Structure 1
Amino acid sequence: MPVFISYRHSDRPHAIAINSRLKQANIKTYLDVLDPESQTTDDITGVITRNITECTHLLAVVSERTAHSWWVPFEIGEATISNRRICSFKTGPAELPLYLDKWPKLSTDKDLEFFIDAYREEVATKRSMTLGSINESLYRTYRGNAELFHDQLKNRIRRGF
């Protein structure tokens, strides 16, 4: 159940810090700066799409600079198509695009801990999986589980505990 960390390269220090915290919590991650294939391929879109498909969660690091990125919205779109668990981590004071309101929005270390707790609960209950070729019924169940993940995490962040 890896977490794909999406970010604009100018936000790399935040992405690396989040990656380190998730690794410290024994959560497998994908961060392209650590992937030699993403640094050397002509088919970066294919590499990104494949890696998102192999992950169960996408955490997008967003700042005022993200508005100028093509890749972060592309990666969020790819994760949406495959019903990944999607969250954003806001790194500054800028307003986030309205389309991100659909998913949990993290902005503090405490929110990141809530994400880690929600992730662990999904592992424990086996509600999250990578998608290969699955039947329609299982796909609907997976989609419902993704919505449950989002709703529960949003509520916890809103409550603050």
Structure 2
Amino acid sequence: MTVFISYRHTDFSAAWGINKKLNDAGIKTYLDKLDAESQTTDDITTVITKNILQSTHLIAVVSAQTAASWWVPFEIGEATVTERRITSFQVGISKLPEYLDKWPKMITLEHIDLFIQEYKNEYRTVSGSRFSGNESRENTFIRNSNNANDFHRALKIKISRGF
């Protein structure tokens, strides 16, 4: 269960901090700056789409500069269409686009801790579930939009309560 971190390159330090926190918690991440293929390809759209499809979650780092980015909204759209768990992490005090209201909004590193808790709750659920056939647990899990809605709802509650 990989977390795709979407960000504008001007927000790399925030994306890197989130990446480190998730990795320290044992969570696998995708960050394009660490991916050799994304640095050398002529078809970045295909690389992005492939890596979103291989992820279960997307954290979009958003700031005032994100409005000038074409890639962050594209990545959010790809994650939406493929029913990934989506959250935003706000950098600075700028107002976020209204379409992000659908998903949990994180603004502090403590909120990332809550994301980690909910991610691990989901992981335990997937690990303990029984599946039939040749399909992997993760593939079945990814396709279940109810799981995504449950994740979004649970994380929003945790963020609003602070735990």
Q: TM-score, normalized by length of structure 2?
A: 0.91
Q: How many residue pairs align between the two structures?
A: 153
Q: Distance in 1 between the 2:35 and 2:119 partners?
A: 23
CA distance in 2, matches of 1:152, 1:46: 32
How far residue 96 of structure 1 moved from its aligned partner, in angstroms, is: 0.2
Q: How does 1:46-125 map to 2 (within 5 A)?
A: 46-125=46-125
**Cα displacement (A) at 1:160:** 1.2
Q: CA deviation at 1:6?
A: 0.2
Q: Which position in structure 2 is the counterpart of 1:30?
A: 30
Aligned mates of 1:17, 1:158 — CA distance in 2: 22
Residue 59 of structure 1: CA displacement? 0.4
Given residue 24 of structure 2, which amino acid in structure 1 is its aligned partner?
Answer: Q
**SS at structure 1 position matched to 2:5:** strand
Aligned residue type for 1:148: D
Q: Deviations over 1:46-86 (max 9, x none)?
A: 00000000000000000000011000000000000010000
| CA RMSD in angstroms, aligned pairs only | 1.4
**Alignment gaps of 5+ in structure 1:** none
Q: Secondary structure at the match of 1:58?
A: strand
Identical aligned residues as a percent: 58
2:149 to 144, 147, 150: 147
* Alpha-carbon distance, 1:130 to partner: 4.6
**C-alpha separation in 2, matches of 1:145 and 1:119:** 11
Which residue is 1:40 aligned to? 40
2:158 match: secondary structure? helix
Q: Secondary structure, in 3 states, of the residue corresponding to 2:94?
A: coil
Q: Deviations over 1:13-65 (max 9, x none)?
A: 11011100000000000000000100110110000000000000000000000
Residue 83 of structure 1 aligns to a residue in which SS? Answer: coil
- Paired with 2:35 and 2:76, the residues of 1 have a C-alpha distance of 19
CA contact (8 A) 1:54 1:130 kept: no
Q: 2-side partners of 1:25 and 1:46: how far apart?
A: 29
Whole-angstrom distance in 2 between the partners of 1:17 and 1:130: 26
- The list of structure 1 runs, each at least 4 consecutive aligned residues, that deviate by more than 6 angstroms after superposition, is none
Cα pair 1:53 1:130 within 8 Å, conserved: no
TM, length-normalised to structure 1: 0.92
CA distance in 2, matches of 1:109, 1:17: 9
Matched AA of 2:16: I
> Which residue type is aligned with residue 76 of structure 1?
I
